[in-house]
Each structure stands twice: as structure tokens, then as C-alpha cells.
Structure 1
Amino acid sequence: MARREETEAERLRRIAILNARLPKKRNIAQGLLRNSAGEMLLCELSYKQEWDLPGGVVDPGEPPAATVAREIEEELGIVVEVGGLVAVNWLPPWRGWDDAHLFLFDCGVFGGELDPSRFLAREIADAHWVTATSAADHVAPYTARMLDAVEGWTAGSTLYLENSEPTGR
């Protein structure tokens, strides 16, 4: 018996049903931005206690690398060149949030001056250049573990992390 070809309308209806039923996972894209002294940029956020790397939630239909560039420009008023993918980090549920994927990108070295008057005040209270050692004093535990895991990162490689820990995969 010959299989009936499905119409484009039928195919789109089937996909719409699957899209409505399949799980959705939050994606986060952040950038590792350093200054000439080797310090990394952390943002003091207006809506939570912990500082965090610059970036944000990926909008539907938006590539994670574009998210990093957009968020840094919108929130800090600077334009960065997004480089390679440093790590993909699966984060388990935390403080009421569902699990998520975090994409960490290399944003290179920023040689300019940060201008707090350009910060998006509803999100960024301040921004700080910190050493890798002092970052753990300000960030969430999962961010501190992730920063430890990527400490020896080399360009051209990508780490896979689960709950900010290397898996050996």
C-alpha cells in the first residue's frame, strides 16, 4: 500500500501540535569579557544579590551568540566581538527556576572605559572588573564553579559542563 503524501498544511498542523506539547528549555547566553589586566567583567544586577557575567536569556528565534552581543550593548552600552564558545553548561533547577542551558562565549579583551551613565539602570546597578580569585565572593555558587571549570580554557575548544562541573565527555 502506497503511503499518502501529507500536505504542507497537514505537516504544519502536526508540527504545531508537537511544538505545543514538547518541553521548552530556557537558554541563557553570557560573555567572558576581560580587560588588559586579565580581570573579568561582572555585572552587579539591580534585581538579584549575586553579581553575574554579562548576558541574558535568549529570545525565541535568536542565536545565543547574538544574544550576548545584544545584551551587552543594551545593558552596558558597549559593543563587543563575540568569539568562540567557551562552554555549554546544563544548570539544574535552582531557587525556583527550571533547568536551563547556559552558553558561555569568549568576548575577548575590552580596552575602553566603562561608562556607568550608559548602563541600563533597570538591570545593571554597576559593573566591576574582578580577578578570577575574587569572583567567587560575588557570584552564585554555580557561576563560581563554572568560572573555575573554564579557568584553563583554550581558544578553539568548548567545554561541556553539567551543574557547572566538567563531565569528562
Structure 2
Amino acid sequence: MSVEGPLYDRDPNAWYAHIAEGNARQARKRVCADVLIRDTAGRMLLVDPRYKPGWDLPGGMAEANEPPHMTARREVHEELGIDLELGRLLCVDWVAPHGPWDDLLAFVFDGGRLVADRVDRIRLQDEELAAFDFCDDELARDRLPPSMSRRVAAASSALSSGEVQYLHDGRTTR
């Protein structure tokens, strides 16, 4: 007996079951999305999370089925109390498994420059953050963990070059 046509044409329910089974078995990726926000002097906004060592960019972990740019916008609002229109994607960093964590895709978006009256409206919204500060490049390098420092440097470079950076653990790939 000959079977004609692909499975999705012959038996849409069987095709759906096949896709659902594959989806259930495929790896899931953790996703975080951060925002590079600067003041009018060009200093970058860093936050000091209480739940981990070192400073960080504003942002955080994506919720289930949440697009990265919406994650970044939601997290900035939840952390700092400001609603921010995001600019373009600056970099994507694949972070290798480490400690108890699986791998991660980290997105960094352009948050633009905040004028003084917008900076004055920033308010820490919950106990998750201890502080925020606008930092020049040198202070940011001192405060950020090495892989985050490399990611921020790549994101800053993307601001000037106009080219999205693809990284592995904060390092440019070729």
C-alpha cells in the first residue's frame, strides 16, 4: 500500500502529536534580558541585587513564553519604577552551564539616555535591589563580575558600531 503526501497533509492530528512529543523532549533555555541605560553624561546605570554578589544591569529572567524585549521592559519597571521604551538589541550572550545552572541566553537592549528629571523618578520598587548608581566605564568594570563586564563592553561597542554582538560567555565569537 502506498502512502501519498506528507503526514501533516494526511493526518493533521498525528502531525500535531508528533510535534508536541518533540517539543516535550527538546531542551529548554533559560532567558534573561537586561537594559543598557545611560545618563546624559554617558554613564551606565547599574543595580546592586541583594540576592547575588556584584552589581548588574537592570533586567532579569524571562517568564514562560515571554519575549526578551518584554522581559527587559517589565523588569526595569518592576525594579526601578520607570516605564522605558527600549531601543534595539545590542547583544546576545550564550552563557555556558555553571554551578547548578543550565545554559542561558542573555539579551541586552538599548535603554537610551535618561535626562535628569527621568533619573529623579527612579525608585527602587522592592527588596530585591539594595541600590542603583550611574557608573563610568572604569567603575562599572570594578563592580561587575568579569563575564558581565565583557557583555556590557560588547553592548557598549554595539551602540557605536550599530552591529549586534553575538557572544559566548561574554566573548565575541567568529
Q: TM-score, normalised by structure 2?
A: 0.87
Alignment of 1:146 onto 2:151: yes
The equivalent of 1:109 in structure 2 is 113
RMSD: 1.8
The corresponding residue for 1:53 is: 57
Task: Output aligned runs, 1:89-128, within 5 Å.
Answer: 89-111=93-115, 112-115=118-121, 118-128=123-133
On the 8 A contact 2:108/2:155 being kept in 1, the answer is: no
CA distance in 1, matches of 2:29, 2:38: 29
* 8 Å CA contact 2:91, 2:154 repeated in 1: no
Q: Which residues in structure 2 correspond to 1:24-43 (within 5 Å)?
A: 24-43=28-47
Consecutive unaligned residues in structure 2, runs of 5 or more: none
Q: Residue 51 of structure 1: CA displacement?
A: 1.0
Question: Are the structure 2 counterparts of residues 39 and 95 from structure 1 closer, same or farther at C-alpha, using a change threshold of 3 Å?
Answer: farther
Instruction: Name the CA distance, whole Å, in 1 between partners of 2:80 and 2:10.
Output: 49
Which has more helix, going by share of residues? 2
In 2, Cα distance between the equivalents of 1:114 and 1:67?
A: 23
* 1:131 equivalent in structure 2: 136
For 1:119, the aligned partner's letter is L
Is residue 33–residue 41 contact of structure 1 (8 Å, CA) maintained in 2? Answer: yes
Q: 1:165 aligns with which of 154, 159, 171?
A: 171
TM-score (norm 1): 0.89
Q: CA 1:137–1:9 in 2, change beyond 3 Å: closer, same or farther?
A: same
Aligned residues: 167
* Alpha-carbon distance in 2 for matches of 1:35, 1:139: 18
Deviation at 1:21, TM superposition (A): 0.5
Deviation at 1:133, TM superposition (A): 1.2
Report the counterpart of residue 14 of structure 1 in structure 2: 18
2:125 is equivalent to residue 156 of structure 1: no
CA distance in 1, matches of 2:138, 2:156: 10
Q: How many Å separate the matches in 1 of 2:33 and 2:137?
A: 19
Amino acid at match of 2:50: S
Contact in 2 for aligned 1:89/1:160 (Cα 8 Å): yes
Once residues 36 and 53 of structure 2 are traced to their aligned partners in structure 1, the CA distance between those partners, rounded to angstroms, is: 20
